[in-house]
Amino acid sequence: MSDGPPGLRRVDDTCWEIPAGAREDMRVPARVFADAELLEQIAADRSLEQLQNVATLPGIREAALAMPDIHQGYGFLVGGVAATEPPGGVISPGGVGYDINCGVRLLALPLTAEELGARTEPLVHEISRRVPVGTGRAHGGLRLGGGELDRVLAHGPRILLAEHGIGTAEDVAHTESEGCLEGADPAAVSERARARGADQLGTLGSGNHFLEVQRVARIADAATAEAFGLREGQVTVLIHSGSRGLGHQVCTDHVRRMDAALRRHAITLPDRQLACAPLSSPEARAYLAAMAAAANFAWANRATLAHRVRQAVAQVLGRDAAGATRQVYDVAHNVAKLEEHGGRTLCVHRKGATRAFPPGSPDVPAAYRDAGQPVFIPGSMGTSSFVLAGRPGAMERSFGTTCHGAGRRMSRTGAKRQITGAELRRQLTAQGIVVRCPSNAGLAEEAPFAYKDVERVVAVVERAGLAARVAQLVPLGVVKG
């Protein structure tokens, strides 16, 4: 059946497919999780074409997949998933993205929004004072010497805990992969990348990165919320950032290296932005080692940001409140991992997509194993964000994956044409949301109307069986670059 854009056939209530026979170079079908309204928005840019391009990658298995938040990206669409099989299957840096291990960390504070009351604005202000923001902004980051940086690249936030007292053992346990991808090699990270990251730990960045103080507005699954330590009315802080300049440079370095080796590996691509190399090749091994190091750096960055949030909580609410502020979970997007699926080892690319493993998975922390892996789907300034839990359908349909946010439906330039930062600031303030952003232009780029309807996106995820709603969060204050 088909009642969507030309070339797409409807598989079921939430899944649409472009058959592999639609193009001679496609090796597998291209599938999209969406409803009819989201699909119309998705069809407005080149993301469906990019999804078909992904379906041409050597060694890709089952299907090239797209989540309901997809939009056009560098070569490989944002919100895309591709699993390739070694040794001939490839890895593509564009399938991970420039912001390696951009991800989300949720903190839960030991008080309600009502108890926070008039201290909301001082708390948001203190967080913004302690957290450096902005494009390329490094001033105020935790500066590491060469040996320290190597240890962070190799081992992630556990080094910050051991050497700087940043974070807790529970934080590390409640982080995807415990904040450390195997195979990371600091020597695979170029000097340029190292220089860009040396003083950026604990900095937020710009674009869609944010730090948001929130209230738990509704609990959808009481038992799972209890397991996650969430209750109605509770204050939470959601941190969204990644590997900063270091990760960007790692991607740049290895896209160039793989592009130069395409002919040697006899790989022909419809878009050279998908530059790739067989997983058995020296180029792939070098990229995997550098990507893992950048991912570890990103987890350390979010650990440092969380530490600065706790310092702000201590300043405004007291040390007891800071000591009782616990990490719910930290989940990555923009990574590629070797995982077991269907009895095979596959390299799963998740670009703007989040792991969503179900109950019983050994990769889920023991405290959450009966509930399933925590999943975070942020909205945008002025809209809800959601906490979900991974479900078995994700393993059956999407290599254990779901979406990572609402997803853009309008370019940054388009958003700025429709509203000024000053006007958006006034609108958010009128809604009772405290805003701290040094750039009105940057604020306008992230206007809520520039994003898809997050509630519709989450509804698709649930109906598809990828993840289930646990709690709804609404913003009280936001810090942006």
Yes or no: say if 48 and 30 are a contact pair by the CB < 8 Å rule.
Answer: yes
Secondary structure (DSSP) of 386-417: EEEEE-HHHHHHSSSEEE-SS-BSS-HHHHHH
Q: Among 132, 86, 147, which Cα is nearest to 337's?
A: 86
Tokens 């023991």 correspond to 366
Sign of the torsion angle spanned by Cα atoms 277, 283, 285, 289: negative
Nearest to 46 by CA among 72, 67, 65: 72
CA dist., res. 35 & res. 298, Å (int): 33
Which of 55, 93, 59 has the alpha carbon at shortest distance from 344?
59
The DSSP bridge partners found for residue 336 are: 349
Beta bridge partners, 215, equal 235, 474
Query: Which residues, 6+ apart, have CB-to-CB distance to 95 below 8 Å?
Result: 54, 57, 75, 76, 80, 82, 274, 276, 336, 349, 351
- The CA distance from 296 to 304, in Å, is 12
Q: 71 an active-site residue?
A: no
User: How many residues make up the chain in this entry?
Assistant: 481
C-alpha radius of gyration, the chain, whole number = 21
Among 450, 465, 316, 275, smallest CA distance to 389 is for 465
Which one from 209, 240, 349, 404 is the annotated catalytic residue? 404
Sign of CA dihedral 34, 39, 44, 49: positive
Which token pair is 20? 């592999």
Tokens 């300034």 locate to: 381
Could you tell me whether strands 401-403 and 353-355 are parallel, antiparallel, or unpaired per DSSP bridges?
antiparallel
8 Å CB contact between 123 and 312: yes
Does the CA dihedral 312-313-319-323 come out positive or negative?
negative
Map tokens 């889920």 to a residue: 364
Catalytic annotation, residues: 404
